[in-house]
Amino acid sequence: MNLIRPVLICPLLAVSLCAAAHAHAGEARYLGLLNRAHDSVVALEVAPAGSDAFVARPIEVLAGGGGSSMVRLGEQGCRFDLRMTFGNGRRAVYHAVDVCRGDTLAIQPLPRSRTSASVAGR
């Protein structure tokens, strides 16, 4: 009798886990952006992590010094590369940002000596 319960429960559990995974596979991924840089973010491009297939995402100007916004990234996967252009023309790329592990990206000020920067995801 004790063997019957695990034999019946395991297949039911496996089916429910597969159904849950399938239900979340096509959900849109969103990310909050918090601009802690000094300059405003004026453009944003998003690509699946490591693909270099950037696509522009419409955003309103994200004010420097604490402006925030929510942006839709895509429907597949958890990791994305984000390329931002600031009002002064400088650019930053945040690599492999994992939206499944966190819901907000704090954009950091760029080093003064560079016109562009590459930043590891969080």
Domain boundaries defined on the chain: 28-120
**What is the pTM assigned to this prediction?**
0.72
* pLDDT at res. 110: 86
Q: What is the mean pLDDT of residues 98-117?
A: 84
pLDDT at position 22, please?
42
Q: What is the DSSP string of 44-110?
A: EEEEETT----EEE----B-TTTEEEEEEEESS-SEEEEEEEETTS-EEEEEEEETTT-SEEEEPPP
Convert the pLDDT of each residue in 68-90 to its tens digit.
999 998 888 999 999 999 999 99
pLDDT, residue 111, reads 84
* Domain 28-120, CATH: 2.60.40.2890
pLDDT over 80 (residue 13) = no
pLDDT higher at 22 or 2: 2
User: What value does the mean pLDDT take over residues 35-44?
Assistant: 96
User: Which of 13-27, 50-64, 102-116 is the most confident on average?
Assistant: 50-64
